[in-house]
Amino acid sequence: MRLSQRATAIQESPIRKLAPLAAAARERGVSIYNLNIGQPDVHTPPEFLKAIAAYTDPVLRYGPSDGLPELREAMCDYFARYDIALDPTEVLITNGGSEAILFAFNVVADDGEEIIIPEPFYTNYNGYAEMANVRVKPVRAHAEDGFHLPADEVLEAAVTPRTRAMLICSPNNPTGTVLSWEELERLAAFARRHDLFLIGDEVYKEFTYDGRRHRSLLELPDVRDRVIVVDSISKRFSACGARVGAVISRNREVMASILKFGQARLCPPTLEQLGAVAAYRLGESYFEAVREEYQRRRDVMFDALTRDPGIVLRRPRGAFYMIVKMAGVEDSDAFAEWLLTDHAVDAETILVAPAGGFYGTPGAGRDEVRIAYVLEVPKLERAAAILLAGLARYRAERHAAAPA
Ligand SMILES: Cc1ncc(COP(=O)(O)O)c(C=O)c1O
């Protein structure tokens, strides 16, 4: 029987596709440092788990489609700490940030319409675009300038009569870039010029380093009706398996439409929402400790890798990822495979994500990999050494094999 075009077009996760090679390496007795996936190793707050254990109602019934009122209120209190005033009616709880993205795509664009996204970008946007039948229009950001927002001319050139929105992710997965206030203002002007929605994926909001504060699209005064923010507790409270996120907008029409999508999937998970309420009651000190730990990890990885003069890398300012551009690597898929099949130092190797899957433009990012620094410092030091040794060997072998 014939499947839909969508069924064949939807992309396989580029992050998970190296798993069979990693399994084979393990079978040969090689240990692997996983630098390929954004699963934080920080403990979920015990308060979160205790709140779930304290549930006593004999029936786990459906909750409201827009989420538990106490969670929506807890989120408003949390945003108030960042001087962002929100009303609970402007917050709808979703099944993870993932569903928030899907809902946002569905309400801003019709079939075949376009959403501009700077590349490299979080690869699952492709999947949501496929599900919502909208097109991702990539605009290129570059390693050399730390993957900051492309120039206005580049943004303008991407606009077509079908453009409906621009999506930005800051702090960014996969680059770690945090957009400045000036960049957000530039985006606001762009959105007004072309009558676009601005979708902000801000799921890494707390993860900013070097004393920098994350600025939200919700802080922009002149585009209040255009902004839709995607939020999540997955990274905030190291609760990826909870599946609790939110979509936030001050545009009433947008929220009313999103609620209808929410009704169609009934409700987000009740127990995990109760856990989230307890986690939101934790003070700012919870984030300070986590932030310090990730900043240390970022520094370890960055300082080690930039010792190689063939690596292009600007110090990332947020999230827990970096895109590493490497001279001597022409096909990072092959390089990532080689690290698993042919390279090991003292029976240890690393798993990295080839960056091609984070680009919408075919062939882009072939000399880059994404590294997630979600391991403890001693392990990261080891992983960085293995990568540098591998890179040196790979270059030497390729160079030796090249015709004179
Ligand atoms: C940029 C970005 N947005 C959204 C998500 C999805 O998060 P959730 O677990 O809340 O669905 C992720 C997960 O890694 C992400 O990196």
> Domains plus CATH for the chain?
5-43+285-396 (3.90.1150.10), 46-280 (3.40.640.10)
Ligand 1 centroid to Cα of residue 230, in Å, is 9
Q: With contact defined as beta carbons under 8 Å apart, do 232 and 276 qualify? A: no
Report the separation in Å between the CA atom of 28 and the middle of ligand 1, taken as the mean of its atom positions: 33
| Residue located via tokens 């390929």 | 36
The encoded tokens of residue 231 equal: 């939020």
3-state DSSP call for residue 232? Answer: strand
Q: Tell me if the bond preceding 171 is cis, omega within 30° of 0.
A: yes
Residue nearest to atom 7 of ligand 1 (CA): 97
Q: What would the two tokens of residue 189 be?
A: 């002007």
List C-alpha distances in Å: 94 to 90, 104, 232. 13, 11, 9
Of all atoms in ligand 1, which is nearest to the CA of residue 245? 10
From the CA of 342, how far away is ligand 1's center (Å)?
Answer: 32
Tell me the one-letter amino acid at 321: Y
Helix (H, G, I), strand (E, B) or coil at 371: strand
Q: How wide is the angle at C-alpha 127 spanned by C-alphas 104 and 206, nearest 5°?
A: 60
Q: How far is the CA of 392 from the centre of ligand 1 (A)?
A: 33
Asked whether 125 lines ligand 1 (CB < 6 A), one says no
- Cα–Cα distances in angstroms (integers) from residue 306 to residues 252, 275, 313, 325, 329, in the given order: 47, 40, 7, 11, 16
Atom of ligand 1 nearest to the CA of 101: 4
Predicted confidence pLDDT, tens digits, the chain (404 residues):
999 888 888 877 766 679 999 999 999 999 999 999 888 888 999 999 999 999 999 999 999 999 999 999 999 999 999 999 999 999 999 999 999 999 999 999 999 999 999 999 999 999 999 999 999 999 999 999 999 999 999 999 999 999 999 999 999 999 999 999 999 999 999 999 999 999 999 999 999 999 999 999 999 999 999 999 999 999 999 999 999 999 999 999 999 999 999 999 999 999 999 999 999 999 888 899 999 999 999 999 999 999 999 999 999 999 999 999 999 999 999 999 999 999 999 999 999 999 999 999 999 999 999 999 999 999 999 999 999 999 999 999 987 654 44
- Which residues lie closer than 8 Å to 364 by C-beta, 6 or more apart? 119, 120, 140, 356
Ligand 1 atom closest to 95 (CA): 11
Residue in 342, 350, 395, 341 with CA at minimum distance from that of residue 369: 350
Extract the tokens encoding 91. 């917050």
Using CA atoms, how far residue 338 sits from 72, 298, 346, 351, 393, in Å, is 47, 25, 16, 10, 11
Q: Is 122 in the pocket of ligand 1 (CB under 6 A)?
A: yes
245 in helix, strand or coil?
strand
Ligand 1, closest atom to CA 244?
10
